[in-house]
Amino acid sequence: MQIGKPGRPVSAISQAYPDRVEVRGHDLADDLMGRLTFTELFHLLLTGREPTEDQRFFLDLLLVAIAEHGMMPTNVAARMTLAADPGALQAAVAAGILGAGPVVLGTSEECARLLEDGQRRVAEGAAPVAVANDVARSARASGAKVPGFGHPVHSPVDPRAERILVLADERSVSGPHVELARALDDAVAEEWGRPLPMNVAMPIAAVMLDLGYPTAVVKAVPILARTAGLLAHLAEERENPLGFLMAAKAEEAIAYEPPPLD
């Protein structure tokens, strides 16, 4: 039984033939290999178009910014999976990616939706500062957080976020979404009564939207980037195994308290 309404039974991404592979209308071997970088190919795969110079530059920049952040739970899960099954590299990568939710990998997709919604209100006549103040006020009143603000390690600023915004200004790609992100930075600080660092998720979303990327592809950047970091940890795990050490330390850290017997 089919569930839901299907789309058209076609794909515009790729097709393999006996004599060639076609990707987004291009011959992979004769046209793309040796001409496009992996970042440019990633953009082509995602959007169906080759990137502009600014899109290529910032897609590269954002992938670098979010690829690695130390011994995060995603990397720990991947290492422990590889320790348990040293031949299952793909399973270990999958274990890490499955844990790459907003708490660990950031809220770039949520930030993009927030900025898009804010820009709709601006298009209807609201000032960016007023929209930002309303978002911060509403979040504070409901006990929620504003996506893209606060970080458990980086304070008073997230250096990655600062660098992205500096380069966006230098290359004149900062647009209405970056403007709204900065207005949110001020509004959050005022509403919470103290500065909360804008973390890397917010400028990732803002810059991608200002460069014309749709919200639906924003999360693809941190997922792809963190896959590279996971592969590095797993290569190191094979040379210097730490997975079972982590498991032992976790067992030591957690006390067993048996339930009372009736």
Three-point CA angle 179, 50, 211, nearest 5°: 5
CATH number at residue 161: 1.10.230.10
Domain count, the chain: 2
- Is 87 part of a structural domain of the chain? no
pLDDT tens sequence across 59-86: 999 999 999 988 988 999 999 999 999 9
Take residue 5 and report the two structure tokens written for it: 């309404």
Q: Same domain for 125 and 199?
A: yes
Which whole-number Å values give the CA distances from 136 to 103, 114, 148, 157, 206, in the listed order? 20, 11, 12, 19, 17
Take residue 182 and report the two structure tokens written for it: 């900065």
pLDDT tens sequence across 157-171: 999 999 999 999 999
Burial of residue 195 (number of CB atoms within 10 Å: 0-12, 13-18, 19+):
middle
Q: 150-155 contacts: CB < 8 A, separation 24 or more? A: 150/196, 150/197, 150/199, 151/197, 151/199, 154/197, 154/199, 155/197
pLDDT tens sequence across 101-139: 887 777 899 999 999 999 999 999 999 999 999 999 999
- Is 174 part of a structural domain of the chain? yes
- Is 212 part of a structural domain of the chain? yes
Domain assignment of residue 124, given as a range = 106-217
